[in-house]
Structure 1
Amino acid sequence: MLKEERQSYIIKQINLHNKVLSSDLSIELNVSEDTIRRDLNELAESGKVLKVYGGALSKSFHYPFQQNDVYARESKREIARKVIGLIQPGMVLLAGGGTSLIELARMIPDTMECTVFTVSPLFALELTERTGIDVILIGGNLSKNSHINTGALTISLLSEIKVDLCILGTNGISLEEGITDSDWEVVQVKKAMIRAAQKTAMVSIAEKLNSVQKMKVCNLNSIHYLVTDANPSDKLLEGYSKTVKVV
């Protein structure tokens, strides 16, 4: 594989999953970790990714207020429109983080009245001017990688609430492995969020379907809605619709 092809693959994986590890890329691309590190250094120097210890992060994920840099933004806006259709006036919601959720926060109508708990400071900030929405930020240790609050305090606070609908993004989703992620602390927070909700809506761009990360959040039958940018009748979603309501 040529360097340009390799780096294109790396950028796509970062855009899809927000974070990549050099060790994983080395195995996937069958090259040395030194080669991957050089690729990541070049991509970071050109401003395409953020280099961190052991891998790299997506720039669009870490600078979500720069709307033009968000990967697959129109797909995420389509997801946001569908999620808004699940929200009823007076609901109590619980929201995670990520660029799809940020797009949702930006599109929620000014006239909507509900209460929103969130572990994401960025999500909370996007809602501050909505007069009909009470926003409650759940505290904890702010993760530098995921930009959500994590840790024992966050999980403890989540155990004290019960919401109508939890809205979460995911780094991996497949029929066999269910919902997966690459960050242990984030996995624990997502599990606590699902436990706190009567129903859970998982959002994911269609490109991310049938991908698996190393750490499991839950099985597919633990969620109620799968919201993607694809048409629910798309063959790609055929297997998922047997277990979860596809929106």
Structure 2
Amino acid sequence: MLKEERQAYIIKQINLHNKVLSSDLSTELNVSEDTVRRDLNELAESGKIIKVYGGALSKSFHYPFTEKETYAKDSKKEIAKKALSLIKDEMVLLVGGGTTMIEIARMVPKNLRATFFTVSPLVALELVENSNINVILLGGQLSPNAHISVGSMVVNQLSEIHVDLCFLGTNGLSLEAGISDSDMEVVQVKKAMLKAAKRTAIVSIAEKLDSVQKMKVCNLSAINYLVTDLDPSDPALEGYSKYVELL
């Protein structure tokens, strides 16, 4: 694989999953970690990614208020429109973090009356602009990678609430492995969010379909809705329709 092809693959994986590890990229690309580190350094120097110890982070995720940096923005807007069809007046909702969740928050109708719990300060800032919405930010240690509250404090708070609907993003989504992630602390928060909700919707761009991360959040059977940028009749979603309602 040429360096340009290798670096294009790296950028795509970072944008899809927010964070990648040099060791994982080395295995996937069948090159040495030194080669991967050189690629990451070049991409960071050109301003395409954020280099961190052991890997890299997505600029799309870490600068969500910069419109031009958001990866697959049109797809995420389409997902947000579909997700909002699940929300009714007077609902109590729980939402996670990420750029798709920010798009949902931006599109919440001004006349909607609802209560939103969130573990994301960035999502909370968007939601609070709507004067009809009651916004409750669940606090804890702020993850520098995921930009959400993590740790025992937020898990305990989640154990004390019961919501009508939860919106969750995901880093991995497959028929066999279900919902998965690459960060153990984030996984624990997502599991607590699932327990707090009567119904849960996973929101994800279609590019993440059939991808698997190292740590499992739940089986597809634990999810009620899957909201993607594809039409529900798309062949790529055929297997998923056996487990969840597609939007």
**TM-score band, normalised by the shorter chain?**
over 0.9
1:177 paired residue number: 177
1:53 paired residue number: 53
Q: Cα deviation per residue 1:145-183 (whole Å; 9 max; x = unaligned)?
A: 000000000000000000000000000000000000000
Trace 1:137-176 onto structure 2 (pairs within 5 A). 137-176=137-176
SS in 2 for 1:207: helix
2:102 paired residue number: 102
Q: For 1:129 and 1:72, locate their aligned partners in 2 and report how far apart those are by CA, in whole Å.
A: 24
1:67 paired residue number: 67
SS in 1 for 2:31: coil
Amino acid at match of 1:246: L
Amino acid at match of 2:140: G
Trace 1:14-53 onto structure 2 (pairs within 5 A). 14-53=14-53
2:87 equivalent to 1:87 = yes
1:10 CA displacement: 0.1
Q: Cα deviation per residue 1:108-128 (whole Å; 9 max; x = unaligned)?
A: 111111000000000000111
Q: For 2:17 and 2:231, locate their aligned partners in 1 and report how far apart those are by CA, in whole Å.
A: 22
1:192 CA displacement: 0.1
Amino acid at match of 1:105: A
Q: Cα deviation per residue 1:55-90 (whole Å; 9 max; x = unaligned)?
A: 000001000000121000000000000000000100
The CA RMSD over aligned residues, in Å, is 0.4
Unaligned runs of 5+ residues in structure 1 are none
SS in 1 for 2:12: helix
Q: For 1:128 and 1:199, locate their aligned partners in 2 and report how far apart those are by CA, in whole Å.
A: 23
Q: For 1:65 and 1:71, locate their aligned partners in 2 and report how far apart those are by CA, in whole Å.
A: 12
1:130 CA displacement: 0.4
Amino acid at match of 1:13: Q
2:76 paired residue number: 76
Unaligned runs of 5+ residues in structure 2 are none
TM-score, length-normalised on structure 1?
0.99
Q: For 2:15 and 2:111, locate their aligned partners in 1 and report how far apart those are by CA, in whole Å.
A: 33
Q: For 2:200 and 2:171, locate their aligned partners in 1 and report how far apart those are by CA, in whole Å.
A: 16
Amino acid at match of 1:182: S
Amino acid at match of 2:112: M
2:196 equivalent to 1:190 = no
Q: For 1:131 and 1:103, locate their aligned partners in 2 and report how far apart those are by CA, in whole Å.
A: 18
Q: Number of paired residues?
A: 247
Amino acid at match of 2:26: S
Q: For 1:130 and 1:83, locate their aligned partners in 2 and report how far apart those are by CA, in whole Å.
A: 18
Q: Cα deviation per residue 1:170-221 (whole Å; 9 max; x = unaligned)?
A: 0000000000000000000000000000000000100110000000000000
Q: For 2:41 and 2:108, locate their aligned partners in 1 and report how far apart those are by CA, in whole Å.
A: 38
SS in 1 for 2:201: strand
Q: Cα deviation per residue 1:87-107 (whole Å; 9 max; x = unaligned)?
A: 010000000000100111111
2:212 equivalent to 1:212 = yes
2:246 paired residue number: 246
Q: For 1:131 and 1:173, locate their aligned partners in 2 and report how far apart those are by CA, in whole Å.
A: 35
Amino acid at match of 1:133: I
1:2 CA displacement: 0.5
Amino acid at match of 1:55: G
2:122 paired residue number: 122
Q: For 1:110 and 1:123, locate their aligned partners in 2 and report how far apart those are by CA, in whole Å.
A: 16
Moved over 3 A (4+): none
Identity of aligned residues (%): 71
